[in-house]
Amino acid sequence: MNKGYKVLLALSLGLNILMFQNYFQSVLHKESLINKSFIEDKGIQAGSTELGFNESKLDEYKKYKSTENDIIFLGDSITQRGSWSEYFPGLFVRNRGIDGDGTENILHRLDPVVNGCPSKIFLLIGINDLAAQFDNEKILANYEKIILTIQEKTPKTKIYAGSILPVNSYKLKDILERETNTTIPITNQNIQALNTRLQTLCEKNRVIYIDYYTHVIEAGELKPELTKDGLHLNSDGYIVLSTVLQPYLTEK
């Protein structure tokens, strides 16, 4: 194989990976595929979960000041799309989810979340890291940095880490193959393996681990009645999550 052919092959593979990741982000949030200005300003490299960073949403969140009474939901599109204040009326619930976010994004935007010393923070993050093909070591290292940063800056805040939800590979596969002729880069086996290690990490750092996974999976897949696209939850899916969450929201 000559040198020129190798270069062309490498470029082709790189473009295919980038095209898939971009489309996966569009499944995550159809409203905005990639914030190009953020990429240019920050010099983000292709393959980083920061490609999905929604800068306008971040600017909006920065304007809101959290307080010691607040309960913060922090995560990606699964968090952003949840009507948490409707599920838990009477509590000071604040939604700080951003479509497309990964663990690196959360690290970049922790300050506005912790500055008000909220009473509780519920984390649900990691699926975009897996989609970007980050290895578990990197994901868990970022996750631990998130936990330690919160504990350092607001030690009275109780931290809850939710398990990464499974996907319905049949529904997601249909969408991806129809639109991009590609297959999904993650499996529920990968997700569960990461969840097992995340639970151990939580125990090590005195963080409460919440098992959503077993409540929404059936026959190795995200229950089809809980999702439309195989990735995001529908209203029935959020009802399941809110039921699991209820005792954690009300405990002191």
Whole-number pLDDT of residue 2: 54
Per-residue pLDDT at 17 exceeds 80: no
Could you tell me the sign of the dihedral formed by the alpha carbons of 249, 244, 162, 76, in that order? negative
- CATH number for the region 3-250 comes to 3.40.50.1110
> In the chain, what are the domain boundaries?
3-250
Q: pLDDT tens across 110-160, in order?
A: 999 999 999 999 999 999 999 888 999 999 999 999 999 999 999 999 999
Question: How far apart are alpha carbons 102 and 124 in whole angstroms?
Answer: 10
Average pLDDT, the chain: 82
Q: pLDDT tens across 67-117, in order?
A: 899 999 999 999 999 999 999 999 999 999 999 899 999 999 999 999 999
Per-residue pLDDT at 207 exceeds 60: yes
Could you tell me the sign of the dihedral formed by the alpha carbons of 173, 98, 13, 193, in that order? negative
**Least reliable range by pLDDT among 27-41, 87-101, 159-173:** 27-41
Per-residue pLDDT at 10 exceeds 70: no
Per-residue pLDDT at 14 exceeds 60: no
Supply the pTM of this predicted model: 0.79
**DSSP code of 227?**
B
pLDDT over 90 percentage in the chain: 64
Could you tell me the CA-to-CA distances from 52 to 16, 33, 212, 223, 243 in Å, in that order?
A: 17, 7, 24, 26, 29
pLDDT band, residue 184 (cuts 50/70/90): low
